[in-house]
Amino acid sequence: MNFCFRWDTTYRGLPGFFYKATRPDAMPAARMLIFNASLAGELGLNADALNSPEGARFFAGEIPDGGPEPLAQAYAGHQFANFTMLGDGRALLYGEHVSPTSGRFDIHLKGAGQTAFSRRGDGRAALGPMLREYIISEAMHGLGIPTTRTLAVVGTGEDVYRQEIQQGAILVRVARSHLRVGTFEYAAAFHKGPDMVRELADYAINRHHEDLVGTESRYCEFARRVIAAQVDLITHWMRVGFVHGVMNTDNMAITGESIDFGPCAFMDRYDPATVFSSIDRDARYAFARQPEIAQWNLARFLETLLPMLHSDQDEALRIANELARSFMVAYPKAWLGMMRTKLGLTEPLDADERMISDLHSQMRSSRLDYNNTFLALTRSMEQDGGDQVIPEELQTWYQTWRDRVRAQSGGETAALNLMKRSNPVYIPRNHLVEEALSAASGKGDFDPLFKLSDILREPYAWRSGMEYYEEPGPVDSGPYRTFCGT
């Protein structure tokens, strides 16, 4: 059957140092549990052909003649600040697909069996965490946030053993590439001299920044773009209250796509110290620390590029330091600009920063729901007597803000336009995600999951009768805890 993949795996052109050719385990009992037909369409694939038993087996290791030549990628990384060798232990680059209209994409299989990098792991993935990644990655896409995506979740028909027996699954992940900060760290740490980092940087520039090829300042400019992409990404995360939870350097893609959705979750009540992950005991990856961690990770990235930034290493260090600092110059500006859109402010005023920080203090002290606070502000402008949707504690602040909006150019109409695009009505609320997952992996009932995913496809569009999906989880349910899907 013709799935319409156009394979062209350029990663094989890198030195063998960077990967190990690996075939996925064949899992003949595989069946398609989730198929993302709209993504398949965007990629120019034959959705009808793929969404079939044959398609499921194809994603579960049954490679036809002329099919892809998979490989496991080598990478290292700082996990909670400790450097270690990693690599694709339960994932594979199945191949690179060149879509007719939207460029080159990695097609990755997560949970396809052991590789040279599996160490003691089984190379498998359990269904629950893969369904979770499907929900969240597609929600991120709906929210307009750069992200790896999920083309399919395939049930392998095999058991995997975690604390208990679970159903095995393979997630088909789609990304602009899987080049991580950790891939650069691997090249710098495990090969003497700068040759491998240079190979990798040239590959990345070729693949993602073709206009820089052959230019003298390409490595500096490449670094600048990687930094800019992270500024953009983290600003988006902060906009919607997303806590990644495991911002290790191997989980930071140089494309600026969100990647690795293990313990991530969305914050309900506003608290900058929010941590969900059970293993993040020191709150290293708390909500408000994400910008500084991104900068820390970028500093690790820049260190690997030192030999290329300048022939004089003192000068290279100066450039790297300046680049690292540039994150903390650009990020606060981007964040402020983002907050202005959330509040519908069309023109900057000096007083805005104070107003924004007052709002955050109030949200924090009153334990207000982050997203629903901005949603209430948006709604207050859509209806007469709008201030009734504003929580009591926020009334004083609200009047100041409302006066400010009335007085600005474009007034309330312009504000409302901005706000409706920046403040989602729906996010993947933790209790809704859990509900969907327990129905799907517990009882084989996928309806709640499909319904939730459907709403999250267009999270800025209000739908009547869907109030249930707007509400934060019950306060008495205790703190939400997430676990890595390993």
Whether residue 250 lies in the annotated active site: yes
Q: Which of 9, 249, 251, 378 is close enough to bind ligand AMP by CB under 6 A? A: 251
Query: CA torsion, points 466, 469, 471, 473, in degrees to nearest 10?
Result: 150
Draw the binding track, 168-187, toward Mg ion (x: CB under 5 A; -: no contact): --------------------
Set 8, 48, 211, 250: catalytic member: 250
260 near Mg ion (CB under 5 A): yes
Q: Give the nearest distance from C-beta 299 to ligand AMP in angstroms.
A: 20
Output the DSSP codes for 315-384: HHHHHHHHHHHHHHHHHHHHHHHHHHHHTT--S--TTHHHHHHHHHHHHHHTT-BHHHHHHHHHHHTTST
Other beta carbons less than 10 A from residue 271's beta carbon: 15
Q: For ligand AMP, which is the closer residue by CB, 262 or 473?
A: 262
- Please give the residues from 71 up to 110 whose contact with ligand AMP meets the rule CB under 6 A: 86-91
3-state secondary structure of 114: coil
Q: For ligand AMP, which is the closer residue by CB, 251 or 362?
A: 251
Q: Which of 113, 123, 128, 256 is close enough to bind ligand AMP by CB under 6 A? A: 123
Q: Which of 46, 118, 167, 341 is close enough to bind ligand AMP by CB under 6 A? A: 118
Q: Are 111 and 486 in contact (CB under 8 A)?
A: no
Query: CA torsion, points 338, 412, 455, 366, in degrees to nearest 10?
Result: 70
Q: Which of 251, 380, 422, 441 is close enough to bind Mg ion by CB under 5 A? A: 251
3-state secondary structure of 161: strand
CA distance 401 to 394: 10
Q: Which of 262, 428, 459, 473 is close enough to bind ligand AMP by CB under 6 A? A: 262
3-state secondary structure of 148: coil
Q: Give the nearest distance from C-beta 69 to ligand AMP in angstroms.
A: 20
Our separate counts of H helices and E strands in the chain read 16, 12
- Give which of Mg ion, ligand AMP, none residue 102 binds (C-beta under 5 to 8 Å, depending on kind): none
- Give which of ligand AMP, Mg ion, none residue 64 binds (C-beta under 5 to 8 Å, depending on kind): none
Q: For ligand AMP, which is the closer residue by CB, 91 or 172?
A: 91
Q: Which residues are catalytic?
A: 250
Binding site for ligand AMP (CB under 6 A): 86-91, 117-118, 121-124, 250-251, 260, 262, 484, 486
